[in-house]
């Protein structure tokens, strides 16, 4: 269990990146959803103990991560939002080096583990290539592989699906689903689909605050009967809250949150996590 209590972080210039975050993250996949600039990466870095907060605590299985970051890091696998690699070093060499830095013995067992990770991230064929020559998706898979070195109990993945093509994304979903098991896997993203595919529990972060958290089904369920869809916009003066306007096959689709139908052309539709997400961003608190 990862417990985050009252985390606060204000950057120079007064920007509040974290504003009293409280989270209890159990074993399994846990999603952090939020728009760009919401404070997700700051929260992920703070939970990984590579950035100190102004206040609050991060406790993992009884271990105070901020007081003893090295102890946490022995059990941590972390994939940052963006990372580089040493030029001229092959993927396998890099993993071997990183394994040593993680404290793994430089022996046959570690080599087997590296081979297995290369295999499960589909990088075996590219093991001899320099990571700097990898495509975005391959590099992301390398990032996952290095995070999994040493079989960590806590995995923190900051936007792991960024830059992946649909096939790679599905492969990653499958991999992460297999990995979760007893370990805590925290996944941050601004792509709602990632959360829906992978997580049963989540939190929505906006402007440094947790604006919603809990079971995904529960979060969505509460909007039942309040989501309306129409090919036209609601008339002016309607109290309904527009959640989104998108095109489907060239035709506009308007979705509104309202306790009653906003107009004649509107039909009630089942709510989605995206509806909940947009609703939280619009600032209304229906539940």
Partner 1 sequence: MLTRADWRSEWLITRRHPLLWAVIAGSTALVALAASNEAPRTDRELYESAVRLGLLVPAFILPFLAGAITPVFTLRDAEHGMDDLLAAYPQTPRDWLTVRLSSVAALLICLGAVQHLAIVGILAADHPGKFWDLLLRAGKLVALVHVPASLIWACVLARVSCAAGKASMVYLAAAFGWLAYLGLATLTDTPLIAGSFVAWEPLRTAMVLVDPYAITALVNPPPVESLPLSRYLAIGLGRAGWLVLCYLLVRGIKTLPASLAAQDSSVRSPGRIRRPLPWLPGLREAPGCFALLLRWTIADKFFLLALAGWAVLVFPEVFGGMTYAEQLSQLTPDSRDALNRVMWDMAPPMGALLLLYAADRASRMSRMAGMDGLTAATAYSSWRLLAAQLACLWVVALILLVFTLLIVLSAQLAAQSSIQPGEYLQQAGQIVTGLLLTATAFVALHGIVRSRMAANLIGLVLVVLGHSSLAPAMGLLHPLWKPLSLPLEVPDHVLGLDRNWSALASFAVAWSAVCAAAMLFAVRAHHRGLPYPQVALRRVLLNPATVAIVLLLTGAAWQALAIQRMLESDFSLVSANERAQRRAAYERRYAAWLDRPQPQVAAVYAFVDFAADGGRADLRVTMQLVNRSAASIDRILVGRNLLDVPATVAIDSAAIEARDPATGQAVFRLIAPMRPGETRTLRFAARITRSPLASSRSLLILSSHFASLPAFQILPVIGYQREFSLRDPAQRVQFRLPPLAVVPPSQLGELGPGSSLDRYQTTFETVISTPQRLHGVGPGELVRQWNEGGRSHFLFRTDRAIRNAPAFFALPWAARRWQVGSLTAEIRAPGPIGADNPSLLGMRDTLTWLNREMAPYPGRTLRLIAAPEFGSSGFALPQVMLISHRRSFRAHPAPDAGFDQAYRRAVHETAHQWFGHAIGYGVPEERAFLVESLAKYAELVMVERRYGSGAVRALVDWESDRLDRSRLAPAMVTVPLLDAEDTEDMYSRATVAFACLRSRVGDAALVAALRETARSSQQTGRPVRSLDFVQALKRIAGKAGEPAIDRMLTSNLPIAVGLARSGCAGDRSPQAN
Binding site for partner 1 (CB under 8 A): 11-15, 17, 37, 41-42, 45, 48-51, 70-71, 73-74, 76, 78, 80-89, 93-94, 96-98, 100-103, 105-106, 143, 146, 156
Q: Which is nearer to partner 1, 45 or 141 (CB)?
A: 45
> Would you put residue 77 in left (φ > 0), alpha (ψ -120 to 50) or beta?
beta
Backbone angles phi, psi at 155, to 5 degrees: -115, 125
Q: Are strands 154-158 and 184-189 parallel, antiparallel or unpaired?
A: parallel
Q: Which is nearer to partner 1, 136 or 270 (CB)?
A: 136
CB of 42 to partner 1, least distance (A): 7
CB of 143 to partner 1, least distance (A): 8
CB of 243 to partner 1, least distance (A): 28
CB of 47 to partner 1, least distance (A): 10
CB of 156 to partner 1, least distance (A): 8
Task: Give the C-alpha separation, 20 to 205, whole Å.
Answer: 11
Q: Cβ neighbours of residue 110 under 8 Å, at least 6 residues apart?
A: 96, 99, 104
Q: Which residues pair with 79 in a beta bridge?
A: 157
Q: Which is nearer to partner 1, 70 or 125 (CB)?
A: 70
Q: Which is nearer to partner 1, 103 or 270 (CB)?
A: 103
Write the CA distances from 82 to 77, 131, 143, 188, 281, integer angstroms: 15, 13, 9, 13, 25
Q: Which is nearer to partner 1, 12 or 248 (CB)?
A: 12
Task: Give the C-alpha separation, 200 to 18, whole Å.
Answer: 24
């Amino acid at each position: 269990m990862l417990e985050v209590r009252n985390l606060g972080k204000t950057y120079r210039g007064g920007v509040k990146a974290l504003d009293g975050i409280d989270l209890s993250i159990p074993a399994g996949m846990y999603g952090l959803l939020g728009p760009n600039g919401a404070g997700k990466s700051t929260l992920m870095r703070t939970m990984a103990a590579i950035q100190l907060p102004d206040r609050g605590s991060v406790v993992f299985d009884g271990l105070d991560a901020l007081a003893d970051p090295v102890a946490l890091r022995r059990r941590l696998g972390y994939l940052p939002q963006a990372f580089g690699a040493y030029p001229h070093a092959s993927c396998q060499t890099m993993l071997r080096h990183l394994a040593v830095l993680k404290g793994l013995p430089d022996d046959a067992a570690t080599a087997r583990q590296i081979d297995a990770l290369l295999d499960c991230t589909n990088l075996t064929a590219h093991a001899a290539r320099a990571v700097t020559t990898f495509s975005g998706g391959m590099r992301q898979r390398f990032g996952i592989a290095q995070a999994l070195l040493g079989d960590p109990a806590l995995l923190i993945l900051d936007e792991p699906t960024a830059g992946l093509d649909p096939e790679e994304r599905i492969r990653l979903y499958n991999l992460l689903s297999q990995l979760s098991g007893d370990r805590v896997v925290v996944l941050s993203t601004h792509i709602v689909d990632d959360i829906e595919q992978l997580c049963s529990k989540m939190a929505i972060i906006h402007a440094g605050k947790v604006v919603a958290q809990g079971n995904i089904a529960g979060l969505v369920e509460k909007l039942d009967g309040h989501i309306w869809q129409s090919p036209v916009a609601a008339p002016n003066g309607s109290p309904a809250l527009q959640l989104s306007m998108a095109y489907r096959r060239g035709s506009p689709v308007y979705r509104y949150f309202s306790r009653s139908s906003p107009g004649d052309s509107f039909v009630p539709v089942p709510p989605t996590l995206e509806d909940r997400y947009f609703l939280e961003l619009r600032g209304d608190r229906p539940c």
